[in-house]
């Protein structure tokens, strides 16, 4: 890496610069164990920066060049070529030049899915943040690992392939190429030598290897489970891929049906996944979402005997799980999930038709829909009853889809007085509501469920011998558990909402499972590890079969195989792994991407692990992060990794919304109706209003031509359907990559959602132009710029050093705290101050260029080169703020006349009383109080106040 830094920048620079030796001054800078000459300035070839001459034949190009604040269109491609050709950001391997005595920093983006649409301006937000941190850490002396790759298997590519008839491998490679080009055009300092794709056999060989380890440890198994089946897509969908009963992609109907599927036993790690969250530097909201998803709860599993209406035993028992055993006396009915295994035997003949119809309707809903608290509760009576073991009462058994077969036992005891869902259901179907918990203060809403703890009431039975009246809820719960355990009616139970991970997909474009099944016994046989990877076969027809069989069943020659151990004929598994599989462990492969013999070298993993900073969208807050943590813990138990957790610090960037859209309303007569009108807007039609016809009045937007008409103003998430997507290629073409990077960081705090504004990017573009002209000078009449720089060899003044080091201190702190917008503000303040100086000392400007470089690397590299440095600044030392320049030498001193504050003066901190008085007496505002007046006394508290007591007879009031 050190060698790369010393390569001279020649290949794409003007011939004048390549051929001409540097002018040597009397002094030298010592850098990297060798002396480099200090160069004052170097002539630049006029054609290099003269955009107007090159565009003279094209009016449009000439106008565009005139709008540019500096020649970014020449600077940026040149430095991107230099970085690529010199592999500037390559991170050497251990044993290949990496100095492991230096601290490390592994900075990672959640790697993207390369869609055909390419990037929009929302994507680079997180990438720019990680790039700033990576560049900053390199300059701080860290070994930085900052890689990029592609999460490229999955349903979107397969659906596009089906729609267009193009093989997903072709579209995936094309999309990756487009994404890679766009990312490089933004100047991100990725180590492209470590690029990976989940679709490459050399990569998914190790995904398959991990699956085999899960299989060996009993963490992978097959089971028949209810799944979200989409006939149109021909695959199983995860709950998150189903919205309002249809597939998120395509909007196709989805049904619930049982299928034999591969499952991963993530529940075996539930406690560790929960407990280890406490040690992570993650947003508390994300940790809380994971806690809720895991959903650990303590309660009891209770036994209810099924009976008929007369109380005769039906020979079946229902297990219910409850977190509130103290409320057992308030259980007035039971609810079972539509997919409960005992439902058929519990359903009476009179109710069977209604129950079957309800089960079919429920099968079309996702689990997320069924548990939505805002949805109206629905259900149907089963025709059977159960006996409450505490009361001996006969209570009905209902079927309702707000109870899930995958949670607990798939059945609950309903206590409508103390559970809002049960209460809503009981009110709708006129079921009994019995209050058994009284609030501590005795006040309770008579029409709402009381869900908190309190004092037990109506909770005793002489027949069962259980009496918890008057007890506090927690004490009552313990007593109920003791009672049910001693009487055989249940036991204490810890439960989880977390379900085992459904790991199979009926798709073509995914990792093949490395298993086969013997024809004669159907025994599952894992592939030997030395036979990996099991590659995906080429398949021309990858459309859904329509029967539920995966598309791989069409690859007949691939499916038919022989078991190498027994020599028996066998068939391969035709389901594939979900897209999540490849993204569960990719961060490990970046540490050792070329290793063909093991997943990751132990020494490399010990040095680089865990990921120090992981940046991505909050939409991955649960599943991706939970799955990755699960696999990591399995690998930890195997000794493959040395850390318990994969991601040390997590940062969620906000969304970038499209530009604000203004909406006006017209009535049926075509007249404008104000958005705040008292009349209803339902009958009005909406009309989009162009931004140039809108003005802001106070906190509201109105029509320019009629300020009485208020408009609705709202920004929306970028989408092709709304037509508000901003292509970063267009922004880079018009303003440059550095302007885009700087603007996205300047819009607001990284974690907040922000609204795109073209006017905003023009502002930061002007700032970069001012920085360019501050260093290089103004544009000449022919469109070119002065050779070299306008900086001088003068020693900086004390004031200049104070301005610089104040900027260094602020920018350093703000980068470390990821407050990039305020770091940019600090640099803007520096440039404003520097324009007021008579000269710009070279040493000061050099330090500022280094400060700017993580944010605007292309411009900074160009200015650094012009300042006389032949190598990249990527590994230069980041400036350090010196404390002696951070202390303010002056202070604002209040001045009182006869005890009344009349103004302030600016004085040195060590100012004497006489000096302070002289400054006050010469102040234009204060001097009028002293004219012709006698001074009786002066009271001076250094640094605090100056109080001048005048002769009362002569003092002006």
Q: Does the pLDDT of residue 836 top 50, yes or no?
A: yes
Question: Of 381-385, 779-783, 837-841, which gets the smallest average pLDDT?
Answer: 779-783
Q: What confidence score (pLDDT) does residue 8 get?
A: 35
CATH topology of domain 296-496: Isoleucyl-tRNA Synthetase; domain 2 (3.90.740)
Gap between the Cα atoms of 339 and 342, Å rounded: 9
CA angle 307, 333, 315 (to 5 degrees): 20
The predicted-structure confidence for 807-828, as pLDDT tens digits, reads as follows 999 999 999 999 999 999 999 9
**Closest by Cα among 194, 138, 145, 190 to 872:** 138
CATH 3.10.20.590 fits 890-950, yes or no: yes
The predicted-structure confidence for 933-953, as pLDDT tens digits, reads as follows 888 899 999 989 999 998 865
pLDDT band of 368, cuts 50, 70, 90: low
Q: What confidence score (pLDDT) does residue 837 get?
A: 96
CB neighbour list of residue 480: distance below 8 Å, 6 or more residues apart: 300, 325, 326, 328, 390, 466, 468
The predicted-structure confidence for 916-928, as pLDDT tens digits, reads as follows 999 998 888 898 8
Neighbours of 677 (CB within 10 A): 14
Q: What confidence score (pLDDT) does residue 229 get?
A: 85
CATH of 92-197+581-651, one of 3.90.280.10, 2.160.20.10, 3.30.450.40, 3.40.50.620: 3.40.50.620
Q: Does the pLDDT of residue 117 top 90, yes or no?
A: no
Strand partners, 220: 264
Q: What confidence score (pLDDT) does residue 242 get?
A: 80
Question: Of 37-51, 705-719, 731-745, which gets the smallest average pLDDT?
Answer: 37-51
Gap between the Cα atoms of 87 and 77, Å rounded: 15
Higher pLDDT, 722 or 630: 630
Percent of the chain with pLDDT over 70: 91
The pTM for the full model equals 0.83
- CB-CB contact of 869 with 36 (8 Å): yes
Secondary structure letter of residue 727 according to DSSP: P
Q: Which residue has the tokens 């349903």?
A: 155
- The mean pLDDT of the chain is 88
Where does 817-893 have alpha helices with state H?
Answer: 820-834, 842-852, 857-866
Strand partners, 615: 109, 651
Gap between the Cα atoms of 247 and 255, Å rounded: 10
**Closest by Cα among 786, 671, 839 to 45:** 786
**Closest by Cα among 917, 891, 888, 895 to 906:** 891
**Closest by Cα among 500, 534, 499 to 212:** 534
Secondary structure letter of residue 952 according to DSSP: T
Do the domains 92-197+581-651 and 296-496 sit in the same CATH topology, yes or no? Answer: no
Gap between the Cα atoms of 562 and 124, Å rounded: 49
Instruction: Give me the torsion for CA of 76, 82, 87, 89, rounded to 10°.
Output: -40
- Burial of 932 by CB count in 10 Å (0-12 exposed, 13-18 middle, 19+ buried)? exposed
First CA to last CA across the chain, in angstroms? 73
The predicted-structure confidence for 465-484, as pLDDT tens digits, reads as follows 999 999 999 999 999 999 99
What value does the mean pLDDT take over residues 297-324?
93
- CB-CB contact of 751 with 652 (8 Å): yes
Q: Does the pLDDT of residue 47 top 90, yes or no?
A: no
Gap between the Cα atoms of 195 and 589, Å rounded: 10
Strand partners, 859: none
The predicted-structure confidence for 68-115, as pLDDT tens digits, reads as follows 889 999 999 999 999 999 999 999 999 899 999 999 999 999 999 998
Helix pair 168-185, 728-735: axis angle to 10 deg: 30
Gap between the Cα atoms of 463 and 423, Å rounded: 27
Q: What confidence score (pLDDT) does residue 741 get?
A: 97
Question: Of 54-63, 245-254, 393-402, which gets the smallest average pLDDT?
Answer: 54-63
Q: What confidence score (pLDDT) does residue 374 get?
A: 60
Percent of the chain with pLDDT over 90: 67
Strand 945-950 versus strand 890-897 pairing type: parallel
CB neighbour list of residue 137: distance below 8 Å, 6 or more residues apart: 105, 107, 144
**Closest by Cα among 316, 328, 319 to 403:** 319
Strand partners, 566: none
Q: Give domain limits for the chain.
A: 92-197+581-651, 208-267+501-577, 296-496, 656-725, 777-885, 890-950
Gap between the Cα atoms of 501 and 317, Å rounded: 29
Q: What confidence score (pLDDT) does residue 724 get?
A: 85
Residue 470 Cα distances to 419, 434, 438, 451, angstroms: 20, 16, 9, 17
Question: Of 554-558, 625-629, 915-919, which gets the smallest average pLDDT?
Answer: 915-919
Rg (CA), the chain: 36
The predicted-structure confidence for 255-277, as pLDDT tens digits, reads as follows 878 888 999 999 999 999 999 99
Q: Does the pLDDT of residue 53 top 70, yes or no?
A: no
Q: What is the 3-state secondary structure (H, E, C) of 110-172?
A: CCCCCCCCCCCCCCHHHHHHHHHHHHHHHHCCCEEECCCEECCCCHHHHHHHHHHCCCHHHHH
- CB-CB contact of 418 with 451 (8 Å): yes
The predicted-structure confidence for 750-768, as pLDDT tens digits, reads as follows 999 999 988 899 999 999 9
CATH topology of domain 777-885: Isoleucyl-tRNA Synthetase; Domain 1 (1.10.730)
Gap between the Cα atoms of 868 and 692, Å rounded: 46
Q: What confidence score (pLDDT) does residue 904 get?
A: 93
């Amino acid at each position: 890496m050190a060698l790369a830094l010393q390569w001279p920048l020649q290949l794409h620079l003007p011939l004048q610069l390549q051929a001409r030796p540097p002018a040597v001054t009397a002094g030298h800078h010592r850098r990297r164990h060798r002396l480099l000459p200090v160069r004052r300035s170097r002539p630049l070839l006029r054609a290099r920066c003269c955009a107007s001459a090159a565009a003279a034949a094209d009016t449009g190009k000439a106008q565009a060049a005139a709008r540019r604040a500096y020649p970014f269109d020449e600077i940026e491609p040149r430095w991107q070529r230099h970085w690529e050709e010199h592999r500037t950001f390559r991170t050497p391997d251990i044993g290949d030049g990496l100095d492991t005595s230096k601290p490390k920093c592994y900075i990672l983006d959640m790697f993207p899915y390369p869609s055909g649409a390419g990037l929009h301006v929302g994507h680079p937000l997180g990438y720019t943040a990680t790039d700033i941190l990576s560049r900053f850490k390199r300059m701080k002396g860290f070994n930085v690992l900052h890689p990029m790759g592609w999460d490229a298997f999955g349903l979107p590519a397969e659906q596009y392939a089906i729609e267009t008839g193009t093989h997903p491998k072709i579209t995936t490679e094309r999309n990756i190429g487009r994404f890679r080009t766009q990312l490089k055009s933004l100047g991100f300092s990725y180590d492209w030598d470590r690029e990976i794709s989940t679709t490459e056999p050399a990569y998914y060989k190790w995904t398959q290897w991990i699956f085999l380890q899960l299989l060996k440890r009993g963490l992978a198994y097959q089971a028949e489970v209810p799944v979200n089946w989409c006939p149109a897509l021909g695959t199983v969908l995860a709950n998150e891929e189903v919205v309002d009963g249809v597939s998120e992609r395509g909007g196709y109907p989805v049904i619930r049906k049982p299928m034999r599927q591969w499952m991963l036993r993530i529940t075996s790690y539930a406690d560790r996944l929960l407990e280890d969250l406490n040690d992570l530097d993650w947003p508390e909201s994300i940790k809380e979402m994971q806690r809720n998803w895991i959903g650990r709860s303590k309660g009891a599993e209770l036994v209810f005997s099924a009976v008929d209406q007369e109380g005769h035993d039906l020979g079946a028992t229902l297990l219910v799980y409850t977190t509130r055993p103290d409320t057992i006396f308030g259980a007035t009915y039971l609810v079972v999930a539509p997919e409960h295994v005992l439902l058929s035997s519990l359903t009476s003949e009179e109710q069977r038709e209604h129950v079957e119809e309800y089960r079919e309707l429920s099968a079309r809903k996702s689990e997320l829909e069924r548990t939505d608290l805002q949805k109206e509760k629905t259900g149907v009576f089963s025709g059977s009853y159960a006996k409450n073991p505490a009361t001996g009462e006969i209570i009905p058994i209902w079927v309702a889809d707000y109870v899930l077969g995958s949670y607990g036992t798939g059945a609950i005891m309903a206590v409508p007085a103390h559970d809002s869902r049960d209460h809503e259901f009981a009110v709708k179907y006129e079921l009994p509501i019995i209050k058994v918990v009284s609030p501590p203060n005795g006040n309770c809403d008579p029409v709402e469920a009381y869900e908190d703890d309190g004092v037990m009431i109506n909770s005793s039975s002489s027949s069962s011998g259980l009496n918890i009246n008057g007890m506090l809820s927690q004490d009552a719960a313990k007593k109920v558990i003791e009672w049910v355990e001693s009487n055989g009616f249940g036991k204490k139970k810890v439960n989880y909402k977390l379900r085992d991970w459904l790991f199979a997909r009926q798709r073509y474009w995914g990792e093949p499972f490395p298993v086969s099944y013997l024809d004669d016994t159907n025994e599952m046989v894992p592939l030997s590890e030395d036979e990996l990877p099991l590659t995906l076969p080429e398949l021309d027809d990858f459309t859904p079969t329509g029967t539920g069989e995966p598309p791989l069943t069409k690859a007949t020659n691939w499916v038919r195989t022989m078991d190498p151990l027994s020599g028996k004929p066998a068939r391969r598994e035709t389901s594939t792994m979900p897209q999540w599989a490849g993204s569960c462990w990719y961060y490990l492969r970046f540490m050792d991407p070329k290793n063909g013999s093991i997943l990751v070298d132990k020494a490399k993993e010990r040095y680089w692990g865990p990921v120090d900073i992981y940046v991505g969208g909050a939409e991955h807050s649960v599943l991706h992060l939970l799955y990755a943590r699960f696999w990591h813990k399995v690998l930890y138990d195997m000794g493959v990794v040395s850390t318990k957790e994969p991601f040390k610090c997590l940062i969620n960037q906000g969304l970038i919304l499209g530009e604000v859209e203004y909406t006006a309303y017209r009535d049926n007569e075509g007249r404008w109706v104000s958005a705040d009108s008292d009349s209803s807007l339902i009958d009005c039609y909406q009309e989009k209003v162009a931004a140039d016809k809108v003005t802001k009045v106070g906190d509201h937007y109105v029509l320019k031509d009629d300020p009485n008409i208020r408009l609705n103003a709202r920004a929306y998430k970028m989408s092709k359907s709304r037509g508000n997507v901003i292509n970063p290629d267009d922004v880079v073409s018009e303003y440059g990559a550095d302007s885009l990077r700087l603007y996205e960081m300047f819009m607001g705090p990284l974690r907040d959602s922000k609204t795109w504004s073209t006017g905003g990017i023009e502002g930061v573009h002007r700032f970069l132009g001012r920085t360019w002209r501050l260093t290089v000078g103004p544009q000449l009449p022919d469109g070119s710029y002065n050779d070299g720089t306008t900086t001088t060899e003068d020693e900086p003044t004390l004031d200049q050093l104070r301005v610089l080091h104040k900027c260094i201190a602020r920018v350093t702190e703000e980068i470390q705290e990821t407050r990039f917008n305020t770091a940019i503000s600090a640099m803007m303040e520096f440039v404003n101050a520097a324009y007021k100086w008579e000269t710009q000392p070279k040493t000061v400007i050099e330090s500022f260029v280094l400060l700017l470089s993580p944010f605007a690397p292309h411009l900074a590299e160009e200015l650094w080169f012009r300042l006389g440095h032949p190598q990249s600044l990527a590994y230069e030392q980041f400036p350090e703020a010196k404390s002696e320049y951070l202390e303010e030498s002056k202070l604002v001193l209040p001045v009182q006349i006869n005890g009344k504050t009349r103004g302030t003066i600016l004085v040195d901190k060590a100012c004497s009383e006489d000096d302070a008085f002289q400054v006050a007496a010469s102040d234009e505002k204060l001097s009028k109080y002293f004219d012709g007046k006698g001074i009786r006394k002066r009271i001076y508290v250094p640094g605090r106040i100056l109080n001048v007591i005048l002769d009362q007879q002569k003092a002006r009031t």
